[in-house]
Amino acid sequence: MDILSLQVSVRHGDNPEEIAYKVARRLRKKGRYSELVPLIKRYGCSDNVKMLILWEARLLALRGDRTAFYLLEACNETEPDLLVEYLRKTWDSVTVIENLHLAGENVRKVFRITTEALRKINLPGVLFICNLPRGNYHRELCRLALLRMAILTKNPGEALEVCHELLRPTRAKLFRSIGRDIENCEEAIEELVETNRESLYWNDCVELALRGELTKALSLAGNSERLLAEIIKDYFLSGFIKNPRELLEGLKMGEFKRGLRCFLGAFVRRELKLEPIYLVYR
């Protein structure tokens, strides 16, 4: 059965969702995605079709095929993990950022995907990469990730340019988050650069913990119990159970015990934030 047969069946009163699913399954099996996408857009994405599309999109992403994004978009679905899989297969950062809207609106996930994608891009002159067409939300998160990267790579000129491109509400939130009476981008970047110079190791520890490298992060942290607690929290956020050996090694370290005490105390006092804390943004 092809699309023409589907149209005939619908005109004769047959169930369009059931027929569309059969046609979609055949088109997927034959790899005729250029016909599958219009089919979905015209007849909708029923539950059966949605399951079919999500499965196929994941397989395509694992193979490094950007067709996965067209299928997701046709079904109006968001799958942040799919973007990560495609990125780690291809390191095609531009395509991932262009499709950032498919990551949904979870700030932490979108920010981490953007940060990971930007690592493979030469920073100077890439501000245009965040000029995304689909609303302000992902565009502003992309710019904030770019600003963070510029600070971490000691490129204040690029950071200043990014700051000026932020929308006024985003800039105001950034200024408040620094914790001082900041009135303009020049003051904000100067303060962030200074904070980063003093506390770069904090951000390194957070990145190591989020990658599951617990022992390295604890060794780098020194004696700051607050940082040790942050490392333990971020390590748990990273999905620590995937590498139990790393956890067992960390349990033997005195830094882990001190950090755990601070972590539990902060938990009881409800002082913990679920998202990772990068000191450069404080």
Mark whether 52 and 88 lie in a shared domain. Answer: no
Say which residue, 181 or 170, is predicted with more confidence: 170
Number of structural domains found in the chain: 3
**Both 245 and 258 in a single domain?**
yes
Give yes or no: residues 47 and 86 share one domain: no
- Pair (3, 72) in one structural domain: yes
Distance separating alpha carbons of residues 16 and 49, to the nearest angstrom: 12
3-state secondary structure of 213: coil
Answer for the pair 109, 103: CB distance below 8 angstroms, yes or no: yes
**Farthest CA pair distance, the chain:** 75
Beta strands in 47-152 (DSSP E): none
Query: Residue 178 has what pLDDT?
Result: 81
Domain end point (choices 51, 76, 101) = 76
Domain containing residue 109: 78-166
> What's the CA gap between 48 and 146, in Å, rounded?
39
Does residue 82 share a domain with residue 71?
Answer: no
Whole-number Å distance between alpha carbons of 206 and 227: 9
Query: Do 65 and 84 have their domain in common?
Result: no
Residue 186 located in a structural domain:
no
> Residue 242, Cα to own-chain centre: how many angstroms?
20
Where does a domain end: 49, 76, 103?
A: 76
Query: In the chain, what percentage of residues exceed pLDDT 90?
Result: 23
Q: How many CB atoms lie within 10 A of CB 164?
A: 13
Q: Look up tokens 């600070």; give the residue.
A: 151
- Asked if the structure places residue 187 within a domain, the reply is no
Position 247 in a domain:
yes
Backbone angles phi, psi at 272, to 5 degrees: -80, 145
pLDDT band at residue 282 under the 50/70/90 scheme: very low
Using the predicted structure, report yes or no on whether residue 1 has a pLDDT greater than 50: no
CA-to-CA separations, 45 to 6, 32, 53, 76, 222, in angstroms, rounded: 15, 17, 9, 8, 53
Instruction: Please check the confidence at residue 145 and state whether its pLDDT lies above 50.
Output: yes
Percent of the chain, pLDDT > 70? 87
Say if residue 204 is in the same domain as residue 160: no
- 208 found inside a domain: yes
Residues 206 and 257 in one domain: yes
Say yes or no to pLDDT of 9 above 70.
Answer: no
In 3D space, the residue among 278, 6, 4 whose CA is nearest the CA of residue 144 turns out to be 278
Residue 182 pLDDT = 86
- Whether residues 118 and 137 share a domain: the answer is yes
Backbone φ, ψ for residue 15 (5° rounding):
-65, 115
90 and 68 fall within a common domain: no
In a domain, 172, yes or no: no
Domain termination site, one of 34, 53, 76: 76
Give residue 15's pLDDT: 64
Q: What CA–CA distance (Å, rounded) separates 224 from 242?
A: 27
Residue 8 pLDDT > 50, yes or no?
no
Q: Does 182 map to a domain?
A: no
pTM here is 0.65
Lowest-pLDDT choice from 26-30, 93-97, 157-161, 162-166: 26-30
Answer yes or no: is pLDDT of 277 > 80: no
What φ, ψ does residue 91 adopt, rounded to 5°?
55, 35
**Residue whose pair of structure tokens reads 């390590």 in the numeric block:** 235
Residues 26 and 104 in one domain: no
Same domain, 279 and 205: yes
DSSP 8-state symbol, 277: P
Domain-embedded: residue 129: yes
Q: Is residue 178 assigned to a domain?
A: no
